[in-house]
Structure 1
Amino acid sequence: MITVVLLGAGNVATHLFKAFLASEEVEIKQWYNRNLKTIDKYKNKVNVTDNLSSLVEADIYILAVSDDAIEDLSKQLPFENRLVVHTSGSTSLYAVDMKQKRGVFYPLQTFSKAADLNFNDVPICVEALKKTDLPILKNLAKAIGSKSHKVNSDQRQALHLAAVFVNNFTNQLYRIAHEITEENGAEFNILKPLIKETANKIESLSPYMAQTGPALRNDKKTIKRHLKQLESDEHKAVYHLLTKSIKKTHGIR
């Protein structure tokens, strides 16, 4: 049984809490948040607190807080030489105070409180200053059904940067597409099978090989017509930039 104290109550913390609670191999000893009202509704399931001095002993302390809060919160922990990890993709391992055994437990996924999430589909990137601390992080990932991946800081930060492109930026492109369809009285839902197929393609093809469209074909008439259709200068700029990027990637002039 792995014992855990969870600190923070955002999207990542909430989903981790639910996953830990459902696991027979994890015991949540305590849940801390500076605003107790946020987690008070869970007090029948776990010991909740807003007092750092009352933190109990556990195998792992997980700082599931904003990147900017990690360093300050870890300094305030009233103990030393315990395994303290954060869940950030972009923050240094060394943001955790040096008086602790430092590590990272980074779930590489998009988290929304209202959306259900199966941790079988969530890779966990693990990192530890001491190699001896890696096994418990891997076992914790396994206990909630996730596959763990040992990465170093550079690799983790590269994955986080790449995740912004495949998730956040892609979602913004969905939003632009939604605006375009709304402006012209078309249904955005008609595009959803295409969105799913585009994502499914890279299960068997590299993104390079999966590329299609007017930029790849160098279909200048279609590109010109699309740019004329777009009313927003911002949308035109995005279309032009991505078209230029695709052409450069595939050696098209």
Structure 2
Amino acid sequence: MIRVVILGAGNIAQHLYTVFTKSEAIQVVQVYNRSQKALQSFTNVATTTRLKELRDADVYIIAVADDAIASVANKLPFTNRLVVHTSGSASMHVLHKKNRRGVFYPLQTFTKGKEVDFSQIPLCLEAREKTDFKVLQQLADAIGSPSYKISSEQRRALHVSAVFVNNFSNHLYRIAHEICEANNVPFQILHPLIQETAHKITTLTPYMAQTGPAKRGDQKTIDDHLEKLDKDIHKEIYTLLTQSIAKTYGREKL
């Protein structure tokens, strides 16, 4: 059985705690957070607000904001233990070298209160020592997640890519939602299109899956869309994306 201590009480910490407690191969021995109030949602497990009270474990998982990782790692009251963080953009080397370092990064978007299926979440793993990497693989296997050996530099590239496919695309959904509302059109009419677009790139490359007026060079439709948009920021976003698509498909005059 792999003994785990979770440091943090945010979205990722809570989701990891939930999935870990469902595995017979994992024991969450303790959850740490500097705020006692944030620990109230962690039941049936020992909690603490004091780092010096941390219990023995096989893995210490730091699941806090990126800018707090180094501070927490530096204050850990022990040496030569396996300490990992869950960040997509922070290097493994932000962790203090007094301990054995690694990364346990779940590549997914997490929202408080919304369940996720970890069997569908890739885990990006990194460790300095082979034996530590094996422990992280066992931890991933215990929750049914596919795992990949990903370096800090590769993970940074993945994180940027994830911002494009998740954060930016969601912002475009929000703009579309706003446009629909302004014109008394139910946004759910677009749900099948959103789902088909996402499904399509599981069998085609994004390059092959691209459609729309920018790809086919339909300037009349593009001008009509720009005329319809009321907000300057929406016009700017539409124009920038249109130009990027047009350039990709050799229609640079658009």
Shorter-chain TM-score: what band? Answer: over 0.9
Unmatched tracts of structure 1, length 5 or more: none
What SS does the aligned partner of 2:21 have? helix
* Distance in 1 between residues matched to 2:146 and 2:186, nearest whole Å: 38
Residues 115-168 of structure 1 show CA distances to partners (whole Å, capped at 9, x for unaligned) of: 111101110000012222111101101111100100111111100010000000
What SS does the aligned partner of 2:96 have? coil
Query: Which residue of structure 2 aligns with residue 77 of structure 1?
Result: 76
What SS does the aligned partner of 2:220 have? helix
Runs of 4+ more than 6 Å apart: none
Q: Which amino acid aligns with 2:86?
A: T
Unmatched tracts of structure 2, length 5 or more: none
Query: Which residue of structure 2 aligns with residue 54 of structure 1?
Result: 53
- Superposed displacement of residue 37, structure 1: 1.5
TM-score by length of 1: 0.98
- Superposed displacement of residue 42, structure 1: 2.5
* Distance in 2 between residues matched to 1:41 and 1:243, nearest whole Å: 46
Residues 45-104 of structure 1 show CA distances to partners (whole Å, capped at 9, x for unaligned) of: 101111111101100000000000000100100000000000000001111001000000
Query: Which residue of structure 1 aligns with residue 206 of structure 2?
Result: 207
Is 1:6 matched up with 2:18? no
* Distance in 2 between residues matched to 1:234 and 1:29, nearest whole Å: 49
* Distance in 2 between residues matched to 1:47 and 1:242, nearest whole Å: 50
> How many residue pairs align between the two structures?
252
Q: Trace 1:201-240 onto structure 2 (pairs within 5 A).
A: 201-240=200-239
TM-score by length of 2: 0.98
Q: Which amino acid aligns with 2:246?
A: K
* Distance in 1 between residues matched to 2:112 and 2:26, nearest whole Å: 21
* Distance in 2 between residues matched to 1:143 and 1:248, nearest whole Å: 46
* Distance in 1 between residues matched to 2:113 and 2:52, nearest whole Å: 31
Query: Which residue of structure 2 aligns with residue 159 of structure 1?
Result: 158
- Superposed displacement of residue 228, structure 1: 0.4
Query: Which residue of structure 1 aligns with residue 29 of structure 2?
Result: 29
Of all paired residues, the percent bearing the same amino acid is 56
Q: Trace 1:90-109 onto structure 2 (pairs within 5 A).
A: 90-109=89-108
Q: Trace 1:120-139 onto structure 2 (pairs within 5 A).
A: 120-139=119-138
Query: CA RMSD, aligned part only?
Result: 0.7
- Superposed displacement of residue 250, structure 1: 1.1
* Distance in 1 between residues matched to 2:40 and 2:247, nearest whole Å: 54
* Distance in 1 between residues matched to 2:122 and 2:186, nearest whole Å: 34
* Distance in 1 between residues matched to 2:119 and 2:251, nearest whole Å: 40
Query: Which residue of structure 1 aligns with residue 114 of structure 2?
Result: 115
Q: Trace 1:57-68 onto structure 2 (pairs within 5 A).
A: 57-68=56-67
Query: Which residue of structure 2 aligns with residue 241 of structure 1?
Result: 240
Residues 151-198 of structure 1 show CA distances to partners (whole Å, capped at 9, x for unaligned) of: 111111100010000000000000000011011111101000000000
Q: Which amino acid aligns with 1:218?
A: G
- Superposed displacement of residue 4, structure 1: 0.2
Choose 238-247 or 34-43, whichever is displaced more.
34-43
What SS does the aligned partner of 2:211 have? coil
* Distance in 2 between residues matched to 1:211 and 1:122, nearest whole Å: 26
Query: Which residue of structure 1 aligns with residue 18 of structure 2?
Result: 18
* Distance in 2 between residues matched to 1:213 and 1:41, nearest whole Å: 46
- Superposed displacement of residue 113, structure 1: 1.2
Query: Which residue of structure 2 aligns with residue 148 of structure 1?
Result: 147
